[in-house]
Amino acid sequence: MRDNPVSHPFDESIDADTLIRSSDGIIFHVSRAFVGFSSRVLRKKLSDKESTAPDTPSSGDLMGSPSRSLDLPESGRILVLLLQLCYPMPDPEIEDGLDGSDDKLRITRRLLQAATKYEVARAIEFAKRTCIALQSVHPVRVYLLASCYGWDDVAKETARRSVYDAPDSYVPEMEIAFAVAYRRLLTYHQKCRDIILARVDTFNGMPAARSTYWSKTSWLNEQSVVAFWSSVHQRLHENVAAGHGPRLDARTLFPDPLNRSQFLLMMDGTREVPMTLVAAIYV
């Protein structure tokens, strides 16, 4: 027998009455009561399985081991997370794959798909929280997931963050997202970047440049400029969300005197650019 490549707490048959087998052959000894309480979909699958089972005792019954079994198409790595979230146990830890084939967000995405499919509410909320925690690292990827699952608040925040995430590139979530969602994001990127580039180039005494719809190169040359405009954008969004409107009081936007001075210098006494930046807010 091969070693179990997935470590999990469901390898004991004591108090278990059901076996769940993953697509890669990992066996989980679970309590039908816990699994059925957390997922009505799995409860129905187990009930349907029992109703079609023969009346004669199985070898499992005679040996005192779980007699019910259910094969699921998800991998052992995903099912161990899902099952832990069906039980009154602490939230599981999600780590990157050891072989580099999976990262934390991709694993979370697969958990989210399984949790949605089986209607495990706690697992759905856990996966969403994990995605949100990764939005600063993978804004475009989390945006695409948010667009798939109707997380409008997350979509707006990650859209803003992704304006400064360059260059554009393929991400795995493009395989499941609608093309219209990604097109909307690219259009939003272009609007925001054109507004910023126009101000930066005017400040530098150069003709205003236009951003491209999709690019493999960075649209701003200096990281400090990226950080500056990202801060302006974030604070404007926070003001609008708080109901204050896109006010451009430098002291409110930038408590740090150095950042405040840079803001006033870049604005050169005008309010037009940040106001139009707010007008380009993703919808």
Render pLDDT for 38-97 as a digit per residue (tens, 0 to 9).
Answer: 999 999 999 887 655 554 444 444 344 556 889 999 999 999 999 999 999 999 999 876
Give the closest residue to 7 by CA, choosing from 95, 127, 68.
95
Q: What angle do CA 258, 264, 267 make, to 5 degrees?
A: 135
Instruction: Pick 221 or 267 by higher pLDDT.
Output: 221
Helices 272-279 and 223-241 cross at an angle (nearest 10°) of 70
Domain membership of residue 67 (yes or no) is no
Q: Are 51 and 102 in contact (CB under 8 A)?
A: no
Domain membership of residue 179 (yes or no) is no
Domain housing 207: 194-279
Domain membership of residue 272 (yes or no) is yes
Q: Residues 227-252: what's their mean pLDDT? A: 71
Using alpha carbons, list the distances in angstroms from residue 129 to 148, 241, 271: 15, 21, 36
Q: Are 71 and 79 in contact (CB under 8 A)?
A: no
Is the backbone peptide bond immediately before 88 cis, with ω within 30 degrees of 0?
Answer: no
Q: Are 68 and 50 in contact (CB under 8 A)?
A: yes
Q: Are 104 and 95 in contact (CB under 8 A)?
A: yes
| Strand 27-30 relative to strand 18-21, pairing | antiparallel
Separation between Cα atoms, residue 123 and residue 194, nearest integer Å: 40
What does the pLDDT look like over 100-142, one tens digit per residue? 556 999 999 999 999 999 999 999 999 999 999 999 999 999 9
Domain membership of residue 128 (yes or no) is no
Domain membership of residue 217 (yes or no) is yes
Backbone angles phi, psi at 38, to 5 degrees: -80, -25
Q: Domain count of the chain?
A: 1
Domain membership of residue 16 (yes or no) is no
Separation between Cα atoms, residue 94 and residue 79, nearest integer Å: 12
Separation between Cα atoms, residue 255 and residue 225, nearest integer Å: 18
Domain membership of residue 98 (yes or no) is no
- Across the beta sheet with 68-71, the strand order is 27-30, 18-21, 68-71
Domain membership of residue 271 (yes or no) is yes
- The pTM for the full model equals 0.78
Locus of tokens 């205003």? 208
